[in-house]
């Protein structure tokens, strides 16, 4: 009889307790935006392959006005099963609207963009079975594209990246073949005003390895076309400071493994944005029962990055 009960099991498992699926995330963003209309404005950067809105917010004083303040971009959820990064985004939204005097000061001197889940189709699919599916890619046919291999800087050239659609690190049919990377690219391009990119620093949040990584990922070289040795030292110095604040290990992205088509490589290569990957802990666990302490570790490095963005030449 057991197998009969088994087949009668619900078609959709709930996310782990405390985690926000897409509907809960959307409701939470709406609630915070409604509670803080003076400093939070919510918008969509476009739609996922299956048509979900890709929700984002701007946090700043005089939020309705595009002021001449350094802009910082925070991206969550490129990889579907890395659900903890969506919780990281919601936690940071809470912190940035908390009214803490240090935060109020930083938020009034910067404009912070948060993109909460760049891959909602993938994360919904990951929860949609009886147990998590360990899904990484988006849901674009035939078998999903790895968004963090789809960015158009040295796309597909090197390292852990595949031209086979069934591979975990499938790069897509061409650079920016995924609607999700195209939507975020269009948003970032729109922040180029009178020829000057307004976004000065960025973090792309992943899990699960407790790392702070800086570009490039596509090459092991410390200096390359588009990166002088001095620029590399600057990226590394700030990266090490961020890692001291959260206790993660700091290294160049390619020290972990070489991989082409990552978002931070494109942010630096295209616009010279100080771009980092944060890999949240706990190590090797995509589904930790508790995430509260882990996301709190990244309050300080994010505030440090906002502060650093206000001190750039």
**Which residue of 54, 114, 184, 259 would you call a contact of ligand NO5, by CB under 6 A?**
259
| Min dist. Cβ of residue 227 to Zn ion (A) | 23
Q: Does 66 bind Ca ion (CB under 5 A)?
A: yes
**Dihedral of the alpha carbons of 106, 97, 43, 178, in degrees to the nearest 10:** 70
Contacts (Cβ under 8 Å, ≥6 apart) of 57: 29, 32, 33, 40, 41, 42, 43, 93, 113, 114, 116
Q: How many helices (DSSP H) and strands (DSSP E) are in the chain? A: 11, 10
- Which of 113, 123, 26, 53 has the alpha carbon at shortest distance from 84? 123
- Contacts to ligand NO5 from residues 204-223, by CB under 6 A: 206, 213
Query: Has 130 been annotated as catalytic?
Result: no
Using CB under 6 A, which of the segments 51-59, 181-189, 192-200, 253-261 binds ligand NO5?
253-261
Among residues 147 and 305, whose Cβ is nearest to Zn ion? 147
Q: Does 105 bind Ca ion (CB under 5 A)?
A: no
| Min dist. Cβ of residue 37 to ligand NO5 (A) | 34
Residues 251, 278 contacting (CB under 8 angstroms): no
**Which residue of 48, 198, 277, 298 would you call a contact of ligand NO5, by CB under 6 A?**
277
Using CB under 5 A, which of the segments 9-17, 53-61, 149-157, 179-187 binds Ca ion?
53-61
Among residues 61 and 251, whose Cβ is nearest to ligand NO5? 251
**Which residue of 48, 56, 57, 60 would you call a contact of Ca ion, by CB under 5 A?**
60
Q: Does 79 bind ligand NO5 (CB under 6 A)?
A: yes
- Contacts to Ca ion from residues 169-208, by CB under 5 A: 198
**Among residues 111, 210, 262, 279, which one is catalytic?**
279
Q: Does 299 bind Zn ion (CB under 5 A)?
A: no
What gap in Å lies between CA 238 and CA 11, rounded to an integer?
46
**In Å, what is the CA distance from 44 to each residue of 47, 132, 133, 145?**
8, 27, 27, 21
Residues 202, 275 contacting (CB under 8 angstroms): yes
**In Å, what is the CA distance from 277 to each residue of 31, 93, 215, 254?**
28, 19, 9, 12
> What is the phi/psi pair of residue 289, to 5°?
-65, -35
The residue whose two tokens read 């760049």 is 118
Contact residues: Ca ion, CB under 5 A:
60-62, 66-67, 111, 198
Contact residues: ligand NO5, CB under 6 A:
79, 148, 206, 213, 253, 256, 259, 262, 277, 279
Residues forming the active site: 279
């Amino acid at each position: 009889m057991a197998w009969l009960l088994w087949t009668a099991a619900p078609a959709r498992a709930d996310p782990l307790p405390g985690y926000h699926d897409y509907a809960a995330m959307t409701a939470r963003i709406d609630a915070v935006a409604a509670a803080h209309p003076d400093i939070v404005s919510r918008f969509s950067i476009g739609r996922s392959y299956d048509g979900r809105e890709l929700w984002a917010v701007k946090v700043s004083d005089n939020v309705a006005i595009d002021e001449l303040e350094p802009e910082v971009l925070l991206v969550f959820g490129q990889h579907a099963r890395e659900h903890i990064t969506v919780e990281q985004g919601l936690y940071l939204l809470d912190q940035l609207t908390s009214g803490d005097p240090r935060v109020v000061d930083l938020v009034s001197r910067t404009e912070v963009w948060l993109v909460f889940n760049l891959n909602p189709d993938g994360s919904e699919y990951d929860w949609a079975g009886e147990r998590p599916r360990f899904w990484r890619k988006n849901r674009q046919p035939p078998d999903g594209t790895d968004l963090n291999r789809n960015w158009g800087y040295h796309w597909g050239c090197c390292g852990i990246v595949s031209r086979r659609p069934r591979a975990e690190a499938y790069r897509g049919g061409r650079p920016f073949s995924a609607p999700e990377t195209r939507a975020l690219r269009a948003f970032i391009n729109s922040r180029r005003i009178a020829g000057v990119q307004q976004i000065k620093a960025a973090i792309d949040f992943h899990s699960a390895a407790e790392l702070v990584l800086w570009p490039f990922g596509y090459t092991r070289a410390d200096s390359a076309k588009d990166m002088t040795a001095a620029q590399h030292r600057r990226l590394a110095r700030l990266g090490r400071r961020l890692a001291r604040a959260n206790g993660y290990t700091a290294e160049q992205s390619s020290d972990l493994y070489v991989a082409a088509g990552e978002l931070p490589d494109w942010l630096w290569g295209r616009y010279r944005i100080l771009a980092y990957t944060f890999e949240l802990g706990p190590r090797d666990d995509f589904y930790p029962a508790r995430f509260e302490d882990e996301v709190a570790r990244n309050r300080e490095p994010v505030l440090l990055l906002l502060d650093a963005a206000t001190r750039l030449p």
